[in-house]
Amino acid sequence: MRTQVCIIGGGPAGLLLSHILHRAGIDSIVLEQRSRSYVLSRIRAGVLEWGTVTELDQAGLGERMHREGFVHDGVLIAARNRAIRIDFKALLGKQVMVYGQTEVTHDLYDARDAMGGRVIDEADGVTLHGLPDRPFVTYVKNGTEERIDCDWIAGCDGFHGPSRQALPKSILKTFEKVYPFGWLGVLSETPPVADELIYANHDRGFALCSMRNEHLSRYYLQVPLEDRVENWSDKAFWDELKRRIPHDAAANLVTGPSVEKSIAPLRSFVAEPMRWGKLFLVGDAAHIVPPTGAKGLNLAVSDVHYLSRALIAHYRDGDDHGVDHYSETALARVWKAIRFSWWMTTLLHRFPDQTEFDQHIQAGEIDYLEHSVAARTVLAENYTGLPF
């Protein structure tokens, strides 16, 4: 087989890139190692920056998002039983869209199908060859080895995929910060506790109240790294959540059986460069953020925004400025989101080695948010998304 762009990974980054390129007349093949049902079963965060909403709209993917998503004008930062509202709309005239990543991925798969896009799932042993300048990819499907010759490879294969590993150690530089706690997440078929998300700082640890729709809520508790899901009955989860959120929210909380319960570790990670010859790294393949700032999906879209325009300019105008500057352009925005996600995580969590000085700094930062329009504007500007 031959294509212009071989895309490894059928998550949000790979599918969106393939779709935008297809609409511009550029051919691609997506290779996904898992089944479609497996990819669509993943539970992921659901806060879209408005830049992401616009990118999906421009790709013709916004209809169900606008019909079923929830536009939010702000979020609540809670501490010591009081809630500080960060009013994006009043501060910046901006909003976010609450619409699960699973739904975005559903819409992407539907759009790929509708256009006859080539998404090969259950592709095993995907291997990158001929880099940096004469790329081709091999994989095994139903026991048969296949080869795809291509002009470019887009590594959209997430943190554990092969693309980042294809960069020589002499070129690849990685930066990482592992946080000393995890997030225990619960999905419940219950109405959300509040109209907007609540990020709660508490002496017992961080808590987050989020949602998927008016009948499906998503909650998180900070737990020790060594904690296990089996240590947490539903009752224990709900009781702890009530301890960590403001009393009026706790009084409003509707509890119910968990339909999903899992623990995820938190890390910040960046790989540089995001391009080597004909290979690009996109999304989680190049960077990971702690979920505190809800930036994971939005950064994947950000990379796709830059790379799709670069490849369109390459094929349409023979202009390689975007291709040649993709890595530095994408990383400039990545590092700002990495910083914000680190800042939100440091502001809201209890760190095992935290000193009383550290706790006063946290309290001072939250106090500053409560009493300073400038402080709330900075949080709003980063949470709703910096410009592309």
Contact residues: ligand PHB, CB under 6 A: 45-47, 197, 210, 218, 291-292, 294
CB of 287 to ligand PHB, least distance (A): 16
Rounded to the nearest whole angstrom, what is the least distance from the CB of residue 234 to ligand APR in the complex?
25
Catalytic site includes residue 383: yes
Nearer to ligand APR, 59 or 156 (CB): 156
Does 109 participate in catalysis according to the annotation?
no
Q: Which is nearer to ligand APR, 76 or 156 (CB)?
A: 156
Residues with Cβ within 8 Å of residue 195, at least 6 apart in sequence = 72
Catalytic pick among 72, 202, 305, 314: 72
Give the pairing of strands 275-276 and 279-281.
antiparallel
Which residue is it, tokens 């709660």? 200
Among 34, 89, 243, 261, binds ligand APR (CB under 6 A): 34
Q: Which of 167, 191, 372, 344 is nearest to 266 (CA)?
A: 344
Find which of ligand PHB, ligand APR, none residue 194 binds, CB within 5 to 8 Å per kind: none
Task: Tell whether residue 31 is a contact of ligand APR (CB under 6 A).
Answer: yes
Catalytic option among 295, 305, 314, 349: 295
Nearest to 381 by CA among 329, 336, 335: 336
237 versus 280: smaller Cβ distance to ligand PHB? 237
Rg of the chain over Cα atoms, rounded to whole angstroms, equals 21
Least distance to ligand PHB from the beta carbon of 180, Å? 19
CA–CA separation, 37 and 22 (whole Å): 23
Judged by beta carbon distances under 5 to 8 A according to partner kind, the member of ligand PHB, ligand APR, none in contact with residue 283 is ligand APR
Is residue 36 near ligand APR by the rule CB under 6 A? no
Q: Are 16 and 301 in contact (CB under 8 A)?
A: yes
Percent helix, strand, coil in the chain (nearest 5)?
40, 30, 30
Is residue 316 within 8 A of residue 45, CB to CB? The reply is: no
* Residue 284 binds ligand APR (CB under 6 A): yes
First-to-final CA distance of the chain: 34
CB of 108 to ligand PHB, least distance (A): 18
CA 108 – CA 111 distance, rounded (Å): 5
Contact 135, 26 (CB under 8 A): no
Active-site residue, selected from the candidate residues 199, 220, 306, 326? 199
Residue from 96, 321, 354, 68 nearest 213 by CA: 68
Name the binder of 210 from ligand PHB, ligand APR, none, CB < 5-8 A by kind.
ligand PHB
Contacted by 296, from ligand APR, ligand PHB, none: CB < 5 to 8 Å by type:
ligand APR
Question: Footprint of ligand APR on residues 297-336 (CB under 6 A)?
Answer: 297, 300
Does residue 155 touch ligand APR according to CB under 6 A?
Answer: no
Query: Residue 71 or 131: which CB sits closer to ligand PHB?
Result: 71
Angle 321-348/296-317 helices, nearest 10 degrees?
170
Nearest CA to 166 out of 24, 20, 280 is that of: 280
Interacting partner of 338 out of ligand PHB, ligand APR, none (Cβ under 5 to 8 A depending on kind): none
Residue 116, both tokens: 């006859």
Residue 160 is a catalytic residue: no
Q: Any idea which residue has 């509708």 for tokens? A: 114
Those residues whose C-beta lies under 8 Å from the C-beta of residue 117, and which sit 6 or more positions away, are 18, 19, 22, 28, 30, 111
Cα–Cα distance measured from residue 132 to residue 279, given in angstroms and rounded to the nearest whole number: 7
Active site residue 291: yes
CB of 330 to ligand PHB, least distance (A): 21
Report the nearest approach of ligand APR to the CB of residue 334 (Å).
Answer: 12
Nearest residue to 282 (alpha-carbon basis) of 20, 3, 48, 103: 20
Which one of the listed residues 219, 291, 306, 314 is annotated catalytic?
A: 291
Q: What is the closest distance, in whole angstroms, from the C-beta atom of residue 17 to ligand PHB in the complex?
A: 23
**Comparison of 32 and 240: residue with beta carbon closer to ligand APR:** 32
- Active site annotation includes 295: yes
Binding interface with ligand APR (CB under 6 A):
8-14, 31-34, 39, 44-45, 101, 123, 126, 156-158, 160-162, 283-284, 296-297, 300
As annotated, the active-site residues are: 72, 199, 291, 295, 383
